[in-house]
Amino acid sequence: MDAHVAQLQMQYRNYILSLYQQGFLDDQFTELKSLQDDGSPDFVAEVLSLFFDDCVKLVGNMARALDQIGTVDFCQVGANVHQLKGSSSSVGAKRVKGLCINFKELCEAKNYEGCVRCLQQVDIEYKTLKAKLQDMFNLEKQIVQAGGIVPQVDIN
């Protein structure tokens, strides 16, 4: 049982580290994790679900704006990108944030092709991250179910 827990914990630790190393997450995520305590045990999960909901909404807005070929309101797209950038930086979604920075420049340049391509990338990226974090939460659940404590992963 303990071995199983230990194994799960090891798996969890490695997984988290890989997420950081692959650039999916950054320090802000660590900060977020540190805010989670006994008083708010699901804080990270809560924030992330809010984040992904925002992603869906914003990407949808941008897709709609870009769909209006010929009368694309780049300001609107830019505003959405800006918001997405803010959220992603707040949760520590590093790759999404990076894409948003590029996206913003493309919007300012009113590069339609570029914007469309970037939006597709953003879409893929946030969905990937969502899947990965879902796996992470599942691991946590498994650990807890196995009677262990979710380890604090030290990112250095």
Partner 1 sequence: MTVEQGIEAVDQFPVGMRVLAVDDDHTCLRILETLLHRCQYHVTTTDKAQTALELSRENKNKFDLVISDVDMPDMDGFKLLELVGLEMDLPVIKLSSHSDPKYVMKGVKHGACDYLLKPVRIEELKNIWQHVVRKSKFKKMKSVVTNGESEGNSDQNGVRANRKRKDPLEEEDEEEEEQQERGNEKKPRVIWTREMHNKFLAAVDHVGIKNAVPKKILELMDVDNLTRDNVASHLQKFRLALKKITNEAKQQVNMAAANSHFMQMSSLKGLGGFHHHSPIPLGSSQFHGGAATTRHYPSNRTFAGMFPHVSSSLPRNLHNDGGYMLQGTPFPPLENLHINSNNKAFPSFASQQSSLLVAPSLVLEGHQQSSSPSYSPHLEINKRLEDWSNNIPQSNVHSEPDALGWNMFGNSTNQTYFCRDTDFGSSSAAHADSLQMKQQHENIFSPMTVAQLLRSSSANEGLFMGQQKLEDGFMASDAGSLDDIVNSMMTQQEQSSRVLGRRLGLGGIITHSKHAYDMRICVFFFLLVSMRVFLFRHKSLVLSIFWLSSSFVREP
54 belongs to the binding site for partner 1 (CB under 8 A): yes
List the one residue from 91, 107, 139, 143 that touches partner 1 (CB under 8 A): 91
Of the pair 54, 105, the CB lying nearest partner 1 is at: 54
Of the pair 94, 143, the CB lying nearest partner 1 is at: 94
Reading the block at residue 107, the tokens are 């919007």
Q: Taking the mean position of all CA atoms in its chain, how far away is CA 91? A: 7
- Residue 26 near residue 155 (C-beta atoms within 8 A): no
- Residue 8: exposed, middle, or buried by beta-carbon count in 10 A (0-12, 13-18, 19+)? buried
List the one residue from 21, 41, 42, 46 that touches partner 1 (CB under 8 A): 46
- Residue 132: exposed, middle, or buried by beta-carbon count in 10 A (0-12, 13-18, 19+)? middle
85 belongs to the binding site for partner 1 (CB under 8 A): yes
Reading the block at residue 23, the tokens are 């650039």
CA 130 to each of CA 83, 133, 139: distance values in angstroms, whole numbers, following the listed order:
18, 5, 14
DSSP bridge partners of 37 = 40
List the one residue from 16, 25, 32, 129 that touches partner 1 (CB under 8 A): 32
51 belongs to the binding site for partner 1 (CB under 8 A): yes
50 belongs to the binding site for partner 1 (CB under 8 A): yes
List the one residue from 83, 111, 121, 142 that touches partner 1 (CB under 8 A): 83
Where does this chain bind partner 1 (CB under 8 A)? 28, 31-32, 35, 40, 43, 46-47, 50-51, 53-54, 79, 82-83, 85-87, 89-92
